[in-house]
Amino acid sequence: MNHLYIIGTGPGGLEHLSPTAHAALGACTDLAGHGLYLNLLGHLAEGKIHHKTKMGEELARAALALNLAASGKTTALISSGDAGIYGMATVVFELLARDLKSEWKNVEIEVIPGISAMQAAAARVGAPLANDFCVISLSDLLTPWEVINRRIDMASQGDFVIVFYNAVSNKRSWQLLEAQQILMRHRQPETPVIIAFNITRKGEQLEITTLGDLNPVPLNMLSLVIIGNSETRHIGKWVYTSRGYHTKLALVDSNHSQ
């Protein structure tokens, strides 16, 4: 069967891999993906043919996976987290939209969701994404900085909790600094901020800081940053964003006191 699974494998730990993804991996003969993500599959990747590509070769990787599936090999295209959130799913569909190869039309595609890094990081500290939030990549490789800048400003004005992917890299850290300055126009310096690195993987690091104290220097491409909004609170080891239940609690307290 010409079948291509586009699999989100979760943040890294195999305990977070969904049963559906586990079954799909078992059915595959060939795996295509970045070497790091294939390695994270551990024993689940054993006995499969590995097709590793480097970071930045996403178009070639997606084309390779489509070619493998079109040739009759049951193939998995691997993304970390969720394949539809800054993952490989959209790359496949962009290629299909270009109608480059007629044989790709015969490939049956199934996108299998995974736990995203932002969900894993949020769960570690409590519930910072409990109310309206948005996700913005700070990488300007594919999106102009002017567009990113405007999105940060609008999201900040809208009081969304904001998750930053690709916060910094070896070549750039100024975007996070500029994002911080944009946010400070609309939010208090004591706004809670979560910095997460390698969540559920070896070397996991997690820090709770504030918007005023946010420092991009120790971060890297695998770091994820969650910026709280006006309703985000840091209580002990936990961070949560209120959904408005505090107004209901006041009513409950009032009823109990009568």
Q: What is the pLDDT of residues 116-159, one digit of tens each?
A: 999 999 999 999 999 999 999 999 988 999 999 999 999 999 99
How far CA 16 is from CA of 71, 72, 160, 203, in Å, comes to 31, 30, 27, 17
Backbone φ and ψ for 31, nearest 5 degrees, come out as: -120, 130
Can you say how many angstroms the Cα of residue 256 is from the centroid of all Cα atoms in its chain? 43
Within 58-198, residue ranges assigned H as helices are 58-70, 89-98, 117-125, 145-157, 174-184
CA dist 258 and 253 (Å) reads 9
How far CA 144 is from CA of 80, 83, 87, 156, 237, in Å, comes to 24, 23, 19, 19, 37
Q: Which pLDDT does position 244 carry in this prediction? A: 75
Least confident of 29-43, 135-149, 182-196, 244-258: 244-258
Q: Which pLDDT does position 90 carry in this prediction? A: 96
How far CA 7 is from CA of 60, 89, 154, 172, in Å, comes to 17, 8, 32, 30
CA dist 101 and 70 (Å) reads 10
Q: Which pLDDT does position 18 carry in this prediction? A: 92
Contact 199, 12 (CB under 8 A): yes
Q: Residue 254 above 60 pLDDT?
A: no
In the chain the domains, ranked by start, together with CATH numbers, are 3-115 (3.40.1010.10), 118-241 (3.30.950.10)
Q: Residue 171 above 80 pLDDT?
A: no
The CA dihedral of 173, 179, 182, 188, to the nearest 10 degrees, is -100
Report the half-sphere exposure of 131 (CA within 13 A, side-chain side): 18
Name the pTM for this structure.
Answer: 0.89
Q: Which pLDDT does position 169 carry in this prediction? A: 76
Average pLDDT over residues 237-255: 74
User: Tokens 């709770």 belong to which residue?
Assistant: 208
Q: Which pLDDT does position 214 carry in this prediction? A: 94
Average pLDDT over residues 220-230: 91
In the sheet that 192-197 helps form, which strands lie side by side, from edge to edge?
A: 133-137, 161-165, 223-227, 192-197, 205-210
Q: Which pLDDT does position 123 carry in this prediction? A: 96
In the sheet that 108-112 helps form, which strands lie side by side, from edge to edge?
A: 49-53, 30-34, 75-79, 3-8, 108-112
Q: Residue 253 above 80 pLDDT?
A: no
Q: Which pLDDT does position 202 carry in this prediction? A: 86
Record the tokens describing residue 95, joined without a space.
């290629």
CA dist 40 and 45 (Å) reads 9
Residues 6+ positions from 32 with CB-CB distance below 8 Å:
51, 53, 61, 64, 65, 68, 75, 76, 77, 78
Contact 209, 243 (CB under 8 A): no
Kindly state the percentage of the chain with pLDDT values over 90: 76
Record the tokens describing residue 253, joined without a space.
């307290």
Kindly give the interhelix angle for 89-98 and 58-70, rounded to the nearest 10 degrees: 70
Q: Which pLDDT does position 247 carry in this prediction? A: 64
**Of residues 84 and 249, which shows the higher confidence score?**
84
